[in-house]
Amino acid sequence: MNNYEQDIIRILEEAGKNGLPVKKIAKHVYNMRNGLFNPVSYDEVYKDILAYINKNNKSKRPLLKKTGKWGYYSLSDYTEAARLQTFNFDAVAEDENNDYDSGKVISNEDLSLSLFD
């Protein structure tokens, strides 16, 4: 069984509170993982994702929750692990680019405390 946890979390975070059905989650993971030099079977990915969801739902603090629609899952609201595992590096890079674009002058002055004062 492959470890698709990171892919599932990323996909469901993009999906938001409405979540996605298992078939769409499997299709997205399949498209992310299937390649020319590392082909994977869709049926294998689907079975692995179903096994992960079943295992996850039996834990005390599951990462996924049912949304109310049959077969739909989303990230659980109270799980901090899901948020910690999906740090958004694009937002950090965008903030850095905005600092340069806004015309802020970044000083190279050393602001550390002196040991000899």
Task: Report the alpha-carbon distance of residue 24 to residue 101 in Å, rounded.
Answer: 39
Separation of alpha carbons 75 and 113, rounded Å: 45
Is residue 4 within 8 Å of residue 52, measured between CB atoms?
Answer: yes
Give the global pTM: 0.62
Q: Which helix (H) or strand (E) is 42 found in, with range?
A: helix 42-57
| Contacts for 41 with CB less than 8 Å, ≥ 6 apart | none
Interatomic CA distance for residues 74 and 72, integer angstroms: 7
What token pair was written down for 31?
């498209």
CATH topology (fold) of 5-99: Arc Repressor Mutant, subunit A (1.10.10)
Mean per-residue pLDDT over the chain, rounded: 77
pLDDT of res. 63? 79
**Which pLDDT band holds residue 23 (cuts at 50, 70, 90)?**
very high
Asked whether the predicted pLDDT for residue 74 surpasses 90, the reply is no
In tens, the pLDDT along 36-51 reads: 888 889 999 999 999 9
What percent of the chain clears pLDDT 90, i.e. is strictly above it?
14
Domain edges within the chain: 5-99
